[in-house]
């Protein structure tokens, strides 16, 4: 039905030992509410592992309804440098990494 992938944050300034970044959520569109279910499970497991803050990013054209359903709030828009996400030390394939701004979402666990 779907898969969710989470890890420590990619941005160094977000790495505080209490933040888990949800990197990917892929589902079969034939099933309803799978994204929300996967996000909720990732958060529950993350809490059990000691994480208290959860991050994820979406493209501006994505609604974020699954994120809102589990309690995420929009937290800002990422800034993109002139070269996009590509840099000499971290080359990126622009087809794999869409250029442009992303919306950052955050959830604080109790």
pTM of the complete model = 0.86
Q: What is the pLDDT of residue 80?
A: 77
Q: What is the pLDDT of residue 6?
A: 97
Q: Does the pLDDT value for residue 85 go beyond 70? A: no
Q: Does the pLDDT value for residue 98 go beyond 80? A: no
Categorise residue 90: left if φ over 0, alpha if ψ from -120 to 50, beta otherwise: beta
The CATH superfamily label for domain 2-108 reads Gcn5-related N-acetyltransferase (GNAT) (3.40.630.30)
Question: Phi and psi for 99 in degrees, rounded to 5?
Answer: -75, 165
Read off the tokens for 53: 């803050």
CA–chain centroid gap for 42, Å, is 11
pLDDT tens-digit readout, 20-75: 999 999 999 999 899 999 999 999 999 999 999 999 999 999 999 999 999 999 99
Q: What is the pLDDT of residue 94?
A: 67
């Amino acid at each position: 039905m779907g898969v969710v992938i989470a890890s420590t944050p990619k941005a160094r300034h977000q790495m505080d030992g209490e933040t888990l970044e949800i990197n990917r959520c892929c589902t079969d569109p034939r099933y309803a509410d799978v994204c929300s279910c996967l996000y909720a499970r990732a958060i529950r497991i993350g809490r059990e592992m000691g994480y208290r803050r959860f991050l994820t990013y979406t493209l501006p054209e994505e609604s974020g309804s699954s994120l809102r359903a589990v309690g995420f709030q929009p937290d800002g828009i990422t800034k993109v440098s002139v070269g996009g996400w590509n840099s000499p030390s971290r080359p990126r394939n622009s087809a794999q990494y869409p250029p442009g701004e992303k919306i950052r979402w955050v959830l604080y666990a109790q």
